[in-house]
Amino acid sequence: MSEKEESDLRASRGGADELESVEKGELSSPEEQDVVDKKLERRVLWKLDTRILPILAVLFLCSFFDRTNVGNARLYGLEDEIGISDHQYDVGLAVFYATYIFGEIPSNLILKKVTPSIWLPCLAFFWGIIAMSTGFIKTFAHFVAVRALLGLCEGGLLPGMILYLSSTYRRSELAIRIGIFYTSASLSGAFSGLLARAISELGGKGGLSSWRWIFIIFGLFTTTVGFTTFWLLPNNVASARFFTPEEREYAVQRLRAQTTNSGGREQEETERFAWSEVARGVFNWQTWLSASAYFGILSGLYSFGLFLPTIIKDLGYTANEAQLWSVIPYAVAVVATLCTAYLSDHFHVRGIIMLCSLPIAIIGYAVIANTPYANVKYGMTFLMATGLYSSVPPVLGWLSNNSAGHYKRATTSALQLAIANAGGFVAVFIYPKKQGPQYHKGHTIVLSLLTAGWFLVLANVLYCWKVNRDKARGKYDKYAGYRDDRDPTFKMVL
């Protein structure tokens, strides 16, 4: 037999063998393989969404319970019993925000070393103990001390969760996941009032006032959640025990498949700490533009969460009625937040979505600051909650999307929140009781901050657009191969 005949025979047998393998399912056509990959991806995402997001949502829920319950406790006699004035109450809140901000960046920089499965649960466990301790305070000094420690522990949670999620999901999947756990903040606003109302019935039990039981029970719940989370939260997709070997390999590879677009996952896994990466995060235009815009949003959010029960009560409702009526605006905000986050991921935009959501809150504040009608004021709280909460997932995902290199992303995420959380200082002092029930000055200040925030978001969108244009024109070619956000293949999300 000639060589040509042997070659043809082998080719014929090879084709027949391949056909037989396809029929047996041993080999797949590209179309079939694509179907298999999509099914596998759906399984992987479903497990991540059902095993990780609920844990983060409950942790975040606890953090909002424990930081805002001071507003509920105020309605049940906190100030009178420990003998503090309105000004001293505000000082205690300001101390909380100061230590909260102080703890954010260091916490994020050590997260990788300590590992998320240890660090995040430990934070929750210790702030739960501190929250419980608030139920036993007797003086102004005690009040300031526990608020300071609470802020220090809680400060590392949100930036740590954002950093954790950014290494677990792809860039185009981040906003909706942030939206899912962030709605727990809205739910905390809705249910903390109801739960505080129920817990207040324990007033007098064990010789403790209603407001003391609020802190003790919520703090005990947080401590339990922190302890349980330690056994449930994986460090990353590679160590997740809920995956099968096939799913685990695919979960790792789907992240590494973004190598050129996300800065190189493999490089980040072995990246060593460098101050130069911290500096890249600090001296980044996007960090300051988005953080300043977020400052305005959080000024509104914190004032809304801390003082909504008081605002409603000043409109003529009793303390118990104020707790119940405060539920509905938060519930509406949950739906709006999830819809906005979904659209943000679907269209792969962040700032552009915020340019549409922020005006909703701006309209709400503009009206409530100037109308004397109680029903109209309450109606405006729906716009305020909707516009504020729905702007959060895009702004939290924006910097993480546009920062590559673990320590740069850790820095930008934490610094953004440190700057933005300074809005807590604004919230503390712009709604004194003497302004009620109109609160014209407080609402006008937040209105101004949100309007300025809208223009800052616009500036950041234009800046990201310019960077993408410059990369397309070759101005970033000198960074080719860097495999971080300077690489010309890395496209900024608008």
**Selected residue with higher pLDDT from 16 and 141:** 141
pLDDT of residue 4: 43
Any idea what the Cα angle at residue 379 is, between residues 374 and 382, rounded to 5°?
140
Residue 201 predicted with pLDDT over 60: yes
**Selected residue with higher pLDDT from 118 and 260:** 118
Could you give the CA distance from residue 172 to residue 159 in angstroms, rounded to a whole number?
19
Nearest-10 Cα torsion for 310, 315, 321, 322: -30
C-beta of residue 165 within 8 angstroms of C-beta of residue 312: no
C-beta of residue 162 within 8 angstroms of C-beta of residue 400: yes
**Average pLDDT over all residues of the chain:** 83
- For domain 53-233+258-473, the question of CATH label 3.30.300.20 is answered with no
What is the residue extent of each domain of the chain?
A: 53-233+258-473
Alpha-carbon torsion (68, 71, 72, 78), positive or negative: positive
* Residue 130: band (very low, low, confident or very high) from pLDDT cuts 50, 70, 90: very high
Q: Hunting for tokens 């269209």 — which residue is that?
A: 347
Could you give the CA distance from residue 75 to residue 200 in angstroms, rounded to a whole number?
10
pLDDT of residue 464: 95
**Lowest-pLDDT choice from 103-107, 276-280, 314-318, 419-423:** 314-318
Mean pLDDT of 293-314: 80
pLDDT of residue 124: 94
Nearest CA to 170 among 82, 263, 284, 271?
263
**Lowest-pLDDT choice from 137-141, 208-212, 337-341:** 208-212
Nearest CA to 438 among 367, 364, 368, 366?
368
pLDDT of residue 5: 47
Residue 394 predicted with pLDDT over 90: yes
**Selected residue with higher pLDDT from 113 and 5:** 113
* Residue 330: band (very low, low, confident or very high) from pLDDT cuts 50, 70, 90: confident
CB atoms within 10 A of CB 465: 13
Query: What letters, b where the CB count within 10 A reaches 16 and e where it falls short, cover 144-169?
Result: bbbbbbbbbbbbbbbbbbbbbbbbbb
pLDDT, tens only, 165-182: 988 898 888 889 988 877
Residue 463 predicted with pLDDT over 60: yes
pLDDT of residue 29: 55
Mean pLDDT of 372-386: 87
**Lowest-pLDDT choice from 21-35, 344-358, 362-376, 434-448:** 21-35
- Specify the length of the chain in residues: 494
pLDDT of residue 133: 93
Rounded to 5 degrees, φ, ψ at 320 are -65, -40
CB atoms within 10 A of CB 235: 15
Of the ranges 94-98, 474-478, 479-483, which is most confident?
474-478
Token pair for residue 346?
């679907």
Residues 6+ apart with CB under 8 A from 406: 112, 167, 268, 271, 277
Q: Where are the alpha helices (DSSP H) in 115-173?
A: 116-134, 140-154, 157-166
Residues 6+ apart with CB under 8 A from 216: 132, 135, 136, 208
Could you give the CA distance from residue 70 to residue 92 in angstroms, rounded to a whole number?
10
Residues 6+ apart with CB under 8 A from 30: none
**Selected residue with higher pLDDT from 4 and 139:** 139
Residue 493 per-residue DSSP state: P
Could you give the CA distance from residue 120 to residue 163 in angstroms, rounded to a whole number?
12
C-beta of residue 158 within 8 angstroms of C-beta of residue 109: no
* Residue 435: band (very low, low, confident or very high) from pLDDT cuts 50, 70, 90: confident
Of the ranges 183-197, 359-373, 475-489, which is most confident?
359-373
Token pair for residue 133?
């301790």
Tell me the one-letter amino acid at 375.
N
Q: What is the pTM of this model?
A: 0.79
Show the beta-strand stretches assigned E in 75-118: none
Alpha-carbon torsion (129, 134, 138, 143), positive or negative: positive
